[in-house]
Amino acid sequence: MNILINILAALFCTVIGYLFGSIPTAIWLGKSLFNQDPRDYGSHNAGGTNAGRIWGKKIGLLVIVLDMIKAAISLWICWVLFTLVPFVDGQALSPTIDLVNNFGINTAFIIPWPVYWFATIGCMVGHCWPLFAQFKGGKGVSVFAGTVLLASWMLAILPCMIYFLILKLTKYVSLASIITPIITTLISWVWAILVMTKVIPPSLYFLPTYGWALILSWVFSTVLTIESVFVLFRHSENIKRLKKGTERKISWMK
């Protein structure tokens, strides 16, 4: 295994993700449609929640969807490049079935693990500190959600139910946004461990996914762990307000 090539591959995916993540969806929509910068209003955050608070739920939902798409585009660009484009005598990255059978790593290929997941980390960094918006962006929840939705219908449905349950019971968007990534990450680790230890046979690996394209290995779980840390860090002020009891509650959910 060429360590340098693998480091460069990981950096390449991270940079691709960062550039797409740096597209400031809420800021560009706000300036083009309302001649306003969301960072000047509400929570001063360039994310879907604040956009919805300022311009209405439809615009907020649009921002969230577009931010999720940023993660999707960057991830699939890297996946296609390393799994479908031929390098020298063949593809650079092992097919998913080989990664499942080899505990998420296959040294027979130029790149032995699913390095494409690094694109979503770059996208998270770009979304929070966008190159195209003075490094003042969102809090990363939409990118995390996009990463999870791309990977697994199971990880999309269960955390979504948890998110809205927390939101309904507490009326705190920030609390739901903090707890849901943590629970999602823990679920992904349980699945990865069950697959790696062969408790779940490789033939059943695809059940919570959309087929054999993306692998939910320890690499994916590690990426979710890193992204969860970013989400927690970006919500540090919200956590302080939650402790003080001064965090703003939503009023639109009964």
pLDDT in tens, 25-62: 999 999 999 999 999 988 888 988 899 889 988 999 99
Question: 86 phi and psi, to 5 degrees?
Answer: -70, 135
The beta-carbon contacts of 101-109 under 8 Å, at least 24 apart in sequence, are: 101/202, 103/196, 103/217, 103/218, 104/192, 104/196, 104/215, 104/217, 104/218, 104/219, 107/1
Rounded distance between C-alpha atoms, residue 37 and residue 45, angstroms: 10
| Locus of tokens 């998270």 | 124
CA 38 to centroid of chain Cα atoms: 22
CA dihedral 98, 102, 103, 107 (to 10 degrees): -100
Q: What is the pLDDT of residues 134-166, one digit of tens each?
A: 999 999 999 999 999 999 998 888 888 999 899
Phi-psi region of 85 (alpha: psi -120 to 50; beta: other; left: phi over 0): beta
Distant-in-sequence, close-in-space partners of 85: CB < 8 Å, separation ≥ 6:
91, 92
Distance CA 152, CA 230 (A): 21
Please, what sign has the CA dihedral across residues 41, 42, 47, 49?
Answer: negative
Identify the pLDDT of residue 250.
75
C-alpha 209 chain-centroid distance: 16
Mean pLDDT, residues 208-224 taken together: 86
Model confidence at 222: pLDDT above 60: yes
Distance CA 155, CA 145 (A): 9
Which residue ranges make up each domain of the chain?
A: 3-244
Please write the tens of the pLDDT for every residue from 237-252: 999 999 998 888 876 6
What percent of the chain is predicted at pLDDT more than 90?
52
